[in-house]
């Protein structure tokens, strides 16, 4: 009888289960989770963070389960989940919460942030036994170093101690070259105390070239099995495989470009951001977040430590030091002078007296002398502002710019003996005449990398000339005499460093009318100068400037401090926060924005020809302003009003 009773006993009633799903939609007024009932067949399988398909508006949309909750009102019917795409959890609560903070700060939608944090699925990778690969890799053993190079920095010993104890420590470091391992060695030295305790480190770099250089160094020091590399250029399958290795905790080190800033990593204790002033850290898709701000929000939310390091110093990083949010790490002056190359400017009193004419030439006599001396035993780097042969032309007679008659684009000369063509539409002109005076004669307004390489090749006929540009980058050059002509950002690395680094076109680089131009130029100079040997020389051409003086003194922090003080005086970013509103609905959007902010505009956007408004507001007002921008954009979207684009804290405000 007891057995019959057990058999006939009714099954306990299961409480209906709801899944809250973040759906794949960039539409602002749909920026919230939607509830779906979980079918009985899926209740034992679904978990927060899994990918699903759900019915929405007559379509099946992708989404992520963000939460599972009991149905509080079973009488109210909701639609069922359409399909469980994968049982692999890829979106974790910590990442979701940080992504929401990013969306709030940049007045964007949560889905736009999440889709950048979680790469597309590669189904067959989920069937691989990644855990077995991690187990086979064994325990990470760090190579011994005589002295951790961070211990040479003021404040470095305290940072290493805190990271070794698991204490929160945020720092901004001005990296100085010519220690073993160059900057990848600096990064690994910073990570040592954390890795030594079995915890994990995330390293974010600007671009593929830096990622390749860091990866090569880690291959040689800890081995490829102990780190995961995250970048879209690797392809969907390798990227997803490395993503799973990272989120499952199979590797102690994760390196990547800006999308890696929100990768879930178990036991993450330290985030290292390399060269935060590089524009590649800015996401090109909405909500246009910057890796530095994502790292700051992640550090605040999760309590992980943060190190921002660069050969120069961004004004935003200087603000973190000034406010006390981060500690400054810098090399003492006496040690710094022994580590870096000598910097010579062609506009010193001595050079002007010695060579009053050629000191202002594009390649002054000082640059020729130092290049000739260095080429006896080492390669020489020449940094130029522009690519091409003659990327800008003007009339020889009236000096008016040479423009294409069809599209008004700038004309250029593609090579020695080549025909003139338009940079915009590509039309060739073999018999071009000036539209202003009719003269057929042209002159160069600027000289590009190809023309510079040709001129130097003729002057130094006994050494090879290597050209490195964005279109044809060269990653590394051998340690033997050669002239390397490169545009900013693609300077090759020399194995033992360059004997001389010539920084040409300083005046042209500084002439660009932009709030951040000097800051960006000095970053390019310090990046190139850091490639010189300690006994080498860096030659800076052009007229005297505050940026040039900072390079001669090797004082990027001082330059950033003065820039920040000036921004405070005139009320410009990053002393204040900013936002740009553009689009067909911008005028109406600004009219409905009832906030105590300073509004400049409208002006006409040069690219879209639409209204453009610039907003300035304080950091204290920031959360309220971005919440209002986000909410108004959603309400206008729901009303089907004309669209607007909102960029918060953009790189280019003025």
How far are the Cα atoms of 207, 282, 336 from residue 291, in angstroms, in the given order? 12, 7, 29
Cβ atoms within 10 Å, residue 117: 22
Q: Is 422 annotated as a binding residue?
A: yes
CB 174 within 8 A of CB 308: no
Query: Which residues in 509-531 are b (16+ Cβ under 10 Å) and which e?
Result: bbeeeebbebbbbbbbbbbbbbb
Q: What is the DSSP string of 131-198?
A: HHHHHHH----PPP-SS-GGGGSBTHHHHHHHHHHT---EEEEE--S-STTHHHHHHHHHHHHHHTTT
Q: Is 263 annotated as a binding residue?
A: no
393/401 Cα distance (integer angstroms): 6
How far are the Cα atoms of 107, 493, 574, 601, 613 from residue 571, in angstroms, in the given order? 22, 39, 9, 17, 17
Cβ atoms within 10 Å, residue 231: 22
Q: Name the pairing type of β-strands 465-468 and 483-486.
A: parallel
Q: Where would I find the H helices in 345-398?
A: 349-354, 365-374
First to last CA, the chain: 86
Q: Where would I find the H helices in 460-538?
A: 506-510, 517-529
Q: Give how far the C-alpha of residue 75 lies from the chain's centroid of Cα atoms, to the nearest Å.
A: 50
312/511 Cα distance (integer angstroms): 20
Q: Where would I find the H helices in 460-545?
A: 506-510, 517-529
Q: How many helices (H) and strands (E) does the chain have?
A: 20, 29
Q: Is 407 annotated as a binding residue?
A: yes
226/224 Cα distance (integer angstroms): 5
Identify the burial level of 632 via C-beta atoms within 10 angstroms of its C-beta, where 0-12 means exposed, 13-18 middle and 19 or more buried.
Answer: buried
Cβ atoms within 10 Å, residue 165: 10
Q: What is the DSSP string of 73-104?
A: -TTS--PBP-EE--SS----HHHHHHHHHHHH
Instruction: Kindly calculate the radius of gyration of the chain based on its CA atoms and give it in whole angstroms.
Output: 28
Q: Is 304 annotated as a binding residue?
A: no
Binding-site annotation: residue ranges for Zn(2+): 395, 398, 404, 407, 422, 425, 434, 437
Binding-site annotation: residue ranges: 395, 398, 404, 407, 422, 425, 434, 437
């Amino acid at each position: 009888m007891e057995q019959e009773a057990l058999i006939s006993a009714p099954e306990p009633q299961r409480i209906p289960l709801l899944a809250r799903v973040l759906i794949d939609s960039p539409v602002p007024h749909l920026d919230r989770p939607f509830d779906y009932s979980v079918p009985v067949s899926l209740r034992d399988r679904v978990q927060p963070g899994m990918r699903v398909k759900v019915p929405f508006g007559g379509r099946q949309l992708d989404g992520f389960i963000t939460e599972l909750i009991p149905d509080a009102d079973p009488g109210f019917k909701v639609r069922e989940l359409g399909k469980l795409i994968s049982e692999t959890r890829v979106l974790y609560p910590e990442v979701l919460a940080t992504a929401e903070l990013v969306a709030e700060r940049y007045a964007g939608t949560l889905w736009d942030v999440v889709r950048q944090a979680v790469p597309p699925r590669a189904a067959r990778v989920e069937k691989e036994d990644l855990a077995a690969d991690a187990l086979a890799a064994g325990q990470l053993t760090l190579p011994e170093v005589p002295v951790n190079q961070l211990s040479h920095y003021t404040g470095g010993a305290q940072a290493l101690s805190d990271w070794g104890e698991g204490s929160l420590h945020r720092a901004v470091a001005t990296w100085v070259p010519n220690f073993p391992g160059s900057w990848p060695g600096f990064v690994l030295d910073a990570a040592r105390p954390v890795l030594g305790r079995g915890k994990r480190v995330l390293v974010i770099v600007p671009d593929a070239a830096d990622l390749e250089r860091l990866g090569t160094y880690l291959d040689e020091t800890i081995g490829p099995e102990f780190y995961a590399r995250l970048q879209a250029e690797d392809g969907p399958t390798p990227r997803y495989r490395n993503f799973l290795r990272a989120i499952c905790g199979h590797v102690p080190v994760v390196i990547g470009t800006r999308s890696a800033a929100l990768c879930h990593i178990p036991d993450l204790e330290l985030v290292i951001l390399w060269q935060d002033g590089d524009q590649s850290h800015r996401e090109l898709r909405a909500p246009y977040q910057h890796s530095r701000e994502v790292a700051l929000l992640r550090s605040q939310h999760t309590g992980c430590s943060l190190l921002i390091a660069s050969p120069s110093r961004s004004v935003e990083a200087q603000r973190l030091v000034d406010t006390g949010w981060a500690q400054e790490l810098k090399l003492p002056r006496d040690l710094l002078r022994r580590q870096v190359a000598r910097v010579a400017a062609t506009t010193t009193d001595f050079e002007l007296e010695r060579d009053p004419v050629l000191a202002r030439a594009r390649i002054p006599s000082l640059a020729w002398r130092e290049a000739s001396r260095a080429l006896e035993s080492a390669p020489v780097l020449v940094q130029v502002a522009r690519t091409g042969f003659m990327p800008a032309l003007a009339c020889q007679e009236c000096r008016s710019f040479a423009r294409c008659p069809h599209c008004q684009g700038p004309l250029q000369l593609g090579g020695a003996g080549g025909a003139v063509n338009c940079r915009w539409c590509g039309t060739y002109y073999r018999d071009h005449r000036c539209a202003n005076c009719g003269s057929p004669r042209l002159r160069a307004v600027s000289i590009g990398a190809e023309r510079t390489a040709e001129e130097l090749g003729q002057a130094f006929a006994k050494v090879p000339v290597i050209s490195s540009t964005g279109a044809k980058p060269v990653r590394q050059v051998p340690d033997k005499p050669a002239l390397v002509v490169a545009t900013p950002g693609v300077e090759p690395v020399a194995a033992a460093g360059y004997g001389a680094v010539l920084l040409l076109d300083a005046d042209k680089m500084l002439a660009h009318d932009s709030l951040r131009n000097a800051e960006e130029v000095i970053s390019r100079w310090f990046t190139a100068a850091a490639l010189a040997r300690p006994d080498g020389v860096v030659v800076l051409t052009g007229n005297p400037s505050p940026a040039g003086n900072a390079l001669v003194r090797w004082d990027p922090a001082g330059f950033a401090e003065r820039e920040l003080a000036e921004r405070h005086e005139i009320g410009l970013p990053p002393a204040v926060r900013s936002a740009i509103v553009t689009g067909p609905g911008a005028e109406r959007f600004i009219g409905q924005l009832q906030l105590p902010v300073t509004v400049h505009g409208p002006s006409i956007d040069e690219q879209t020809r639409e209204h453009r408004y610039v907003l300035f507001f304080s950091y204290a007002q920031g959360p309220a302003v971005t919440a209002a921008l986000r909410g108004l954009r959603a309400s206008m979207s729901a009303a089907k009003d004309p669209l607007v684009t909102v960029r918060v804290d953009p790189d280019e405000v003025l």
